[in-house]
Structure 1
């Protein structure tokens, strides 16, 4: 991954943001975060240095599915890779996330090695 680009973590649980940020920073990734999909979309429109988004799928107000749809329908954001992250690791969830427009899928608790591998595959 180009370490000049940032990973935007969008999750309504600050503990998840803290844990993911700490692990990714230890792997030399640069992270920024948002505690809602609305805040994340605003950050994306203002920060052109985001290279990938880690999107929690279950959030109040606007869930990850709606946020992904908004990103994919925005000409400035549609090419930013999105990794769906969800605790709802049930049969069909991966397919549902990919169908919604996510470029990758990770279930919670996050397997760090799997996440780093996916990040390296998706970002320039």
Structure 2
């Protein structure tokens, strides 16, 4: 079973909390704090079950990063779940339009996140 998750968030506290939660459920976690770094990681290893992408980051935001990930043939099939503090209905749609498979708002509801991960193919 593929259980590798890439967490992309510019706040190390968010990564720390998600890493603990997901590791306790048997997932292997890799993380980074920059979108470009995430793209580089995925190009070297496209064996991730899912990417948890923070949408608001400096330099390159999650919207730009998802578009790039989806445009690269070797990474285009990796599902991305948008993770954002922006919780308006239009924000959810904007994330899905950018290519995210799902959307989870911050503060993260762990059960909602696990459900979103487990329903992926």
Normalised to the residue count of structure 1, the TM-score between the two structures is: 0.93
1:42 lines up with 2:40 in the alignment: yes
1:9 lines up with 2:7 in the alignment: yes
Q: Output the CA distance in 1 between the equivalents of 2:117 and 2:97.
A: 19
Alignment equivalent of 1:109, drawn from 99, 107, 110: 107
State the aligned residue count: 121
SS at match of 1:92: helix
Structure 2 stretches lacking a partner, 5+ long: none
Shift of 1:48: 2.9
1:19 lines up with 2:5 in the alignment: no
Structure 1 stretches lacking a partner, 5+ long: none
Normalised to the residue count of structure 2, the TM-score between the two structures is: 0.96
SS at match of 2:57: coil
Aligned to 1:69: 67
Alignment equivalent of 1:60, drawn from 53, 58, 61: 58
1:34-54: CA deviation from partner (whole Å, max 9, x where unpaired) = 110011111111123212100
Alignment equivalent of 1:100, drawn from 98, 101, 116: 98
Q: Output the CA distance in 2 between the equivalents of 1:82 and 1:47.
A: 15
Deviation beyond 4 Å, 4+ runs, structure 1 = none
Shift of 1:83: 0.1
